[in-house]
Every structure is written in C-alpha cells, then in structure tokens.
Amino acid sequence: MISAAVEPDPIEPGGEDALAVALARAAAELGLELPEPAEVREGRVEFGVMDDRLVVVVQYRSDLRYRVRCRKQGAWLAYGVTGELGEAARAVAAWTGGADLEGTRAAAPFVGFNAWALDHEREPFDRVEVAWRAKIDLAGLPARNDRPYVRALLEAAHAQPRLRRLMPVTSHFMLWFSATVEWPYERVGYSVDPRPDGFVVRAGGKHVTTAATAEESVAVVVAHLPDEVGPAR
C-alpha cells in the first residue's frame, strides 16, 4: 500500500512553518496551488477544506520522508509515505481540489487505501463500523508490524456480528467494547489483552483465561455478553 521514493527531497532548516513553505514551493514548481493550511506545526501541516476533507503531511526528520494521510466523511481513508516533497504536494492538491480516492492515487501513486475506504466513500458507514475499520488499518501500518497479534484480535472481533455492533475501544492494545459511541464509554462484557504468547481475557481487570488464538479469546467474550446488548448508541 505504501511506496517511497529512493532519493528524498530535503527541507532546508527553518522555523515552525518550514514544511508548509517547502510544500507551497514544491507545488508552485509543479504548477499546482495549495489552499492555506488550517494548522501548522513544526514538521506537520494540516489542510482542511470542503466536504469534510482533511489532509495532513508529516515530515519524518530521521530520514526525510513525508507521510500523507487523507480524511473524509469522518474516517482516515488513504495513507502513503514518499521521499519526494513534490509527490506529497501532488497528493495535497488532488485531495483538497476535490479528487476522490482513485483520482488522488492517480495524481500521487504512493497514496494507498483499502477496499473498505472505497465503499465508505460511495456510501458512508456508521460511526461504529468506521471505528472498527480505522483500528484494523492502524494496527496494520508498518510501525505496528512487530505486533501482528493486535490486528489478529481486531479482525477476529470484527468478524463476530454481536461484537461488530459495539464500539471498539483500545488502550495499550487491550481491546474492550462499549455500548455508547462517545465518551464516557459504557463498558460491555470482557476485555482482551493481546500478547505475543497468548490472548488474556479479563473481566473488570480480573483474569478469566488465556487463549492461544485471537478467535478463541473472542469466542469467550461473545459467550459472556449480556443477552440484550447493542447496537452502540
């Protein structure tokens, strides 16, 4: 899903707005025009425009790469990393100019997205389903590749119809479920703590069992759900 250019395009040292200035310069060199940033911080620029659209560019200082994330309809739908500032500018220009996911990828091929994002773009999911998809995607990012068991747990829980109707909540990778979609969350049933050597099921912090697989731990959670629960409200 993610591609990176071989030769990065460095940013000259500057103030807090150095990345924003460099992005605007790169866009101008390509004959593109970017909107005024909605928020600027050191190494981070956010552009918010019409149609609930948001795009964020973050500079990785360690190796001069640029991460781009695109948001619409309440969900982060696309993500990519590139070593070329001009490519990041192309992605920003496309997304803020109204391009859809496929149009943005055509303009900036390093930007990737999953099939569910296309479905959401065409017919938006509800907040609970968006939360599930976003958490599963986040668990699959390269920075999380050393914890595949976290994504395995999320996918196993999402596959269960009764759990999929509840709001997924995570804290330090532990997964629990809420009957409400907003804070303060209303905890329902057991929680699962995914670990390299097993999946620890807990009830109110008390150890219930340790399962060998994500599916087994989720089965325990489902078996002990209250009869009348969900969908999250």
Q: What are 231's two structure tokens?
A: 């969908």
Handedness of CA 158, 123, 106, 29 (dihedral sign): negative
- Among 44, 37, 48, 120, smallest CA distance to 78 is for 120
The tens place of each residue's pLDDT in the chain, 233 residues long, gives 333 333 344 444 456 788 999 999 999 999 999 999 999 988 899 998 876 889 999 998 766 899 999 998 888 899 999 999 999 999 999 999 999 999 999 999 999 998 889 989 898 888 898 889 888 877 776 655 678 899 999 999 999 999 999 999 988 889 999 999 888 888 988 999 999 999 999 998 899 999 999 999 999 999 999 887 767 77
**pLDDT of the residue at 74:** 84
> Residue ranges of the domains in the chain?
18-122, 127-223
pTM of the entire structure? 0.75
Model pLDDT for residues 54-107, shown as the tens digit of each residue = 999 999 876 689 999 999 888 889 999 999 999 999 999 999 999 999 999 999
Please report, for residues 63, 83, 137, 162, the alpha-carbon distance to residue 58 in angstroms, rounded to integers and kept in the order given: 12, 12, 18, 37
